[in-house]
Structure 1
Amino acid sequence: MICPNCQYPNAREANFCTSCGSPLPKESSRPSASQPLAAGDDKRTVLNDIATRINRVAGIDTPVELNLREVFSNVTVKHTEEEAERLFAAGTSETTPDISTIADTWPKPWLFARVFLIVAVAYFGLYLGVSQFENINLLPGLITLGSFMVPLTILIFFWEMNAPQNISMYQVMKMLLVGGVLSMIAAIFIFESLADSGSAIIIGIVEEAAKVLVLLLFLKERKYPYVLNGLLIGAAVGTGFAAFESAGYAFQVLIHRDLHAMYSTIFWRGVLAPGGHIVWAALSGAALCMVKGDQAFEWAMLKDSRFLRIFAIVVILHAVWDLPWGSFADLPLAQIVLTVVSWIIAFAVMNVGLKQISRNKQQPAQAISPSDGVTM
């Protein structure tokens, strides 16, 4: 049982947290994946109906009714430095919990918000140094921090949502850096081999396929069998891709235009980052784990309709994103709508991942199977 105060994994039957001493909620009072967090008691809202329809298109037939206020309730709670340090210790061979103690309830992430504030303060300091004191030595740091600020925040969120807590921050950072660079190089190589690489659908196919190829390097073994693992690893690769790409765009704008245009590029790419490469790659990674389970990867798994359906949706989302939509009232409404759609699917996939944990906790002696809740 995960302590709601400090996130420490305790024994299922524990009444008090062995780390901070806080009382643990009773089993019956904790919403589980088999009893999703309800947005309403008796009737579904229009938004839930839309979400259900979107998830059915993605092949996910498990109903998801989220109370986002509950999921994000720990963001506004005061946390100590020691709590953050304990979280960063997760994922090692010594701290990974046993399957019997892994929580199958919705996590309540909060560290991602602290990381965002820290990076934002650092970015603002560099911004003052460049804009007020005209110190160009700070420009590389400004571009780097600005490009990583939101993607890194989203990655930490996915890391906190990884209920198995079996992937360390060291591994996540390695996947971000190595996976981000390799996926960009793979995409560039494929683009160079194509006669026509300018259409939105081609860009979507190439870049998402490049990320999947890199994901296979991390997911081909049996070490990461959970759907939530795939979601996190995909997010790590997508974070690297998104941040490096944003840094490149910001640098190009700085060279060809001016500082104000660079600031605008960093700002808007940060605002739109949650709905782009990170969540797309996360969905692809989760889809791979849906069909793989704890088995070693085989190329035939890519023919599984569960993977193909989600990957096709990811490609379509990417392609539609890149279309010349323009803006309405200076807002990129098309990208905002696509972001909402992507996250509806992402939360549905998280629900599938939690149900996978719940199912395997009941049968811990058996191999971790590919996830159900996804239609063939």
Structure 2
Amino acid sequence: MAPDRQPAPARGVRHGPRPWLVIFVVGLLLWLLTVAVTFSTRNANLIPTLVLLGSFLVPVTFVAWAFDRAGPDGVLTPQRLMAAFLAGGTLGVLGASVLESSLLRPSPWMWLGVGLIEEGVKIAALWLMAARLRPHRPRDGMVLGAAVGFGFAALESSGYALTALLTVKGLSLTDLVQTEILRGLLAPFGHGLWTAIAGGVLFAASARSGRLRLTGSVVAAWLGLSVLHALWDAMHAVAAALALLFTGTDWQWHLLETGYVPRPTSAQVGFITGLQWGGWLVVSLVALGWLRALARRTRPLDAAAGERTAPSWPGWGER
């Protein structure tokens, strides 16, 4: 008579705050402390610490949050997510830099070109990070895609922070901090969200065959995400054009006809800011709705893949 199969050990019930919340709170306190000490001492050696903490805090927090929600039956581990965040994000940034400098020139279509390139290289980096991952559960694809996207966002934000620091009047810590705050607030709705969608679509297209495939749905997702990316990047220019169209004065139109771009009035600056944030909100809602619909549609594939998945690693995997 065959011996009875031993039941799987019950997962421990974790009490206390979630890891992502601990990461955010502790990281935020450290960043605020670094800001205070840097401003009070004017010690330039602290600038790298300020840049790294401010640029990586929100992306790392959201990767931990996504991993916490991935479910206990996935195959992702913290090591794989760390590799996707660092290696995938770095490969994406490097690939985008090479392609953009080689292929893009100033034109009305430049924003779309940036979107196509950056979303394309992130999907390529995601594909590389998922090459040996089995099975392809769509929810795991979303989490792994978020890790690649947030890694890209963290590295990109550190570059923007350093650029803001360097001004014609010297180093500006105020501009650096303001840039980090703005990009930290916007980080959850950009690269990480878009690449999470790409990961879900890619894994859903590959779930039944057991291997990654470039299907029509993956190409359609790449094109759709590129359009959202282009709209996000061009939103300030779009808002400025709309402000000029609806509130432009005679002298501004005269300057425009002579080939000069007129400066907005103080009232128009507020109008442009409102339009820009409103546009970002619309793009974010579209992307969030897309991700939610994708998660619902692929839930049966998640369940089927979960039945074939080995237990997750202890510790981090226990939820």
Q: TM-score, normalised by structure 1?
A: 0.64
Query: Which structure: greater helix fraction?
Result: 2
Q: How far apart, CA to CA, are the structure 2 residues paired with 1:261 and 1:192?
A: 26
Matched, 1:236 2:150: no
What does the per-residue CA deviation read over 1:46-85, in whole Å, with 9 as the maximum and x for residues that have no partner?
A: xxxxxxxxxxxxxxxxxxxxxxxxxxxxxxxxx43xxx7x
Say if 2:285 is the partner of 1:340: yes
Does 1:125 find its partner at 2:125?
no
Return the alpha-carbon distance in structure 2 between the equivalents of residues 295 and 359 of structure 1: 13
2:111 aligns with one of 194, 200, 204: 200
Q: Distance in 1 between matches of 2:287 and 2:21?
A: 20
Q: Distance in 1 between matches of 2:34 and 2:225?
A: 35
Name which of 292, 295, 300 aligns with 1:350.
295
Task: Select the structure of larger CA radius of gyration.
Answer: 2
Q: Deviations over 1:109-148 (max 9, x none)?
A: x432322111101101101111123222211111111001
Residue 246 of structure 1: aligned partner: 157
Q: Which moved more, 1:176-185 or 1:213-222?
A: 213-222
SS in 2 for 1:225: coil
* Counterpart among 176, 183, 195 of residue 262 in structure 1: 176
Q: Note the C-alpha offset of 1:330.
A: 8.8
Among 142, 156, 165, the residue aligned to 2:50: 142
Alpha carbons of structure 1 residues 331 and 355: separation in structure 2 relative to 1, 3 Å = same
8 Å contact from structure 2 (residues 138, 302) kept in 1: no
Provide the rounded CA distance (Å) in 2 between the counterparts of 1:336 and 1:311.
21
Over the matched positions of the two proteins, sequence identity in percent amounts to: 25
1:273 maps to amino acid: A
Residues 269-284 of structure 1 mapped to structure 2, 5 A cutoff: 269-284=183-198
Is this contact kept in 2: 1:222–1:294, CA < 8 A?
no
1:19 aligns with 2:22: no
> Cα distance, 1:170 vs. partner?
1.5
> Is 2:96 aligned against 1:187?
yes
Quickly say closer, same or farther: Cα 1:357–1:125, change in 2 above 3 A.
Answer: same
For the pair 1:293 / 2:207, whether they are aligned, the reply is yes
User: Within 2, Cα distance between the matches of 1:152 and 1:365?
Assistant: 29
The answer to whether the Cα contact below 8 Å between 1:283 and 1:346 also exists between their aligned partners in 2 is: yes
- Count matched residues: 263
CA RMSD of aligned residues (A): 2.6
3-state SS in 2 of match to 1:131: helix
Corresponding residue number in structure 2 for 1:169: 78
How much has 1:278 moved relative to structure 2?
0.6
- Residues 328, 253 of structure 1: CA spacing in aligned structure 2 closer, same or farther, 3 A cutoff? closer
Structure 1 unaligned spans of 5+: 1-10, 23-78, 85-109, 367-376
Query: Which amino acid counterpart does residue 176 of structure 1 have in structure 2?
Result: F
In structure 1, the partner of 2:228 is: 317
Separation (CA, whole Å) in 1 of partners of 2:229 and 2:50:
27
CA contact (8 A) 1:287 1:306 kept: yes
Q: Report the Cα distance in structure 2 between the residues aligned to 1:115 and 1:212, rounded to whole angstroms.
A: 27
Q: Cα offset for 1:241? A: 0.7
Superposition deviation, residue 222 in structure 1:
4.5
Change (3 A) 1:331 1:124: farther
Q: How far did residue 338 of structure 1 move?
A: 1.3
The DSSP-based 3-state class of the residue aligned with 1:328 is helix
Letter of the structure 1 residue corresponding to residue 147 of structure 2: A
Deviation of 1:191 (Å): 1.7
Taking the aligned partners of 2:36 and 2:60, their CA distance within structure 1 comes to 22
Contact 1:325 1:334 in 2 (8 A): no
Deviation of residue 316 (structure 1)? 0.9
1:224–1:230 CA contact under 8 A, matched in 2: no
**Distance in 2 (alpha carbons) for counterparts of 1:18 and 1:346:** 29
Which residue number corresponds to residue 76 of structure 1? none
3-state SS of 2:41 partner: coil
Distance in 1, Cα, partners of 2:208 & 2:280: 35
1:178 to 70, 87, 95: 87
- Partner of 1:196: helix, strand, or coil? coil
Q: TM-score, normalised by structure 2?
A: 0.75
Instruction: Give yes or no for contact 2:137–2:305 (8 Å, CA) kept in 1.
Output: no
